[in-house]
Amino acid sequence: MKKLTLAAIAIFAFVLSSCEVESAGSEDLTSVDAKGKAAKNTNSQIEFDLSEDCQKSEAVLLAGQHTEVGKVTVTESGDNYIITYEITNDEWCISETHLSVVNSPEDFPMTNSGNPKNGNFEYKDSFDCAKTVTYEVPTSKGPYIAAHAVVNCLNESAESIAENLPVDIDFCAVDRGTNTGLSYWSINISNSFLAGDYNAWCLDANKPLGIICAEGSVVSSYSDLSSTSIAYTDNMNQVNWIINQDFVGTLASNGEAFTFGDVQVAIWSFVENAQCPTCGNNVGEWSEERAQEIIDLANINGTDYMPDCGELLGLIILPDDTGKQPLLISYPIECSDCEETAWADGCSFPGNNWATYFSY
């Protein structure tokens, strides 16, 4: 009888212990649900200023709060929104997008202080450099839209430099290549964003220049040059390729070092269709063999050449005195490295930020 009683007590203790574990598990599950509800309730306590009017079908996309880089548009197709990010500023592109569409502003993923958690937005993607990004979102998700993007500024290009060249420049030819050994001329530009010292090359050997200061205009070597005194204007791809190779001082295939004279003679071959029309002593030491090697390499590698960021763009200086020779200088195309956060403009989030949303 005593053994039976002890067995009964053991069974009762086991059952009681099992019930306690199950009860603890239920409490844990209840706690998880409570935390989820608490987070949602926290957002519901965040106060949005709903008196702001931010209903629109097109919102300006602002980078860094003040720079207009594009727009976000909303249209409807059946039961879906078609939400499109479009970059309209040529100097920018999209590398990331984060999009949230909700029934009420309080439903946006946010911190307890009212800052949007754009990393938790429902729709997101990354890109190399996109100009347009489109999402299809069910209209049932609601009318409130928060459209965030990461945008990057683009590098300079030959085209962007050409579009911003000054109308007039002041320049001086300060030295000859026979003294410097670097290029046919050394010049200085004293005004505009081009101000600085440059190595320069002659583009019309039949016209003089001399050590002078003068006024002139400047154009891209890829622009229409038909009104200039340059005899052959269709070979500027090869000329630009040549000035990007930094030949002077490097070794030719025969083991001899290229000179500035070799480079100048090669350039003349493309713009004058002659190797050395009036060389005289102005090109210093040069050889037909070395110059021809540059010409051959330019014809192989440079017929479709267009300089990119980190390379040099040939700019042509046209003296106002048309009796003076036009010059070619090398201008560096800068590589940009900038990134900004961008929001579709609208009503403000309540947190300490400049993030915005709008309604459709």
DSSP 110: B
Residue ranges per structural domain of the chain:
58-154+339-359, 159-332
User: Could you give the percent of the chain with pLDDT greater than 90?
Assistant: 75
pLDDT tens by residue, 98-146: 999 999 999 999 999 999 999 999 999 999 899 999 999 999 999 999 9
Does the global pTM surpass 0.85?
Answer: no
User: Could you give the percent of the chain with pLDDT greater than 70?
Assistant: 86
pLDDT at 50: 83
Whether residue 229 is predicted with pLDDT greater than 70 in this model: the reply is yes
If you average pLDDT over residues 84-94, what whole number do you get?
94
Cβ of 242: how many Cβ atoms within 10 Å? 25
pLDDT at 277: 55
pLDDT tens by residue, 20-29: 333 233 222 2
Q: Which residues contact 75 (CB under 8 A, 6 or more apart)?
A: 57, 81, 82
Whether residue 170 is predicted with pLDDT greater than 60 in this model: the reply is yes
CA-CA-CA-CA dihedral for 27, 29, 34, 36, to nearest 10: 160
Single out the residue of 221, 330, 206, 323 nearest to residue 276, CA to CA. 206
Single out the residue of 86, 84, 69, 71 nearest to residue 154, CA to CA. 69
Single out the residue of 234, 198, 196, 221 nearest to residue 307, CA to CA. 221
| Amino acid present at 218 | V
CB 63 within 8 A of CB 151: yes
CB 261 within 8 A of CB 308: no
- 324, β-bridge pairs: none
Cα separation of 311 and 333, whole Å?
A: 6
The structure tokens listed for 193 are 């964003």
If you average pLDDT over residues 259-265, what whole number do you get?
96
pLDDT at 276: 65
pLDDT at 280: 57
Single out the residue of 5, 1, 24 nearest to residue 13, CA to CA. 5
CATH homologous superfamily of 58-154+339-359: Immunoglobulins (2.60.40.10)
For 124, half-sphere exposure in the C-beta direction (CA atoms, 13 angstrom radius) is 13
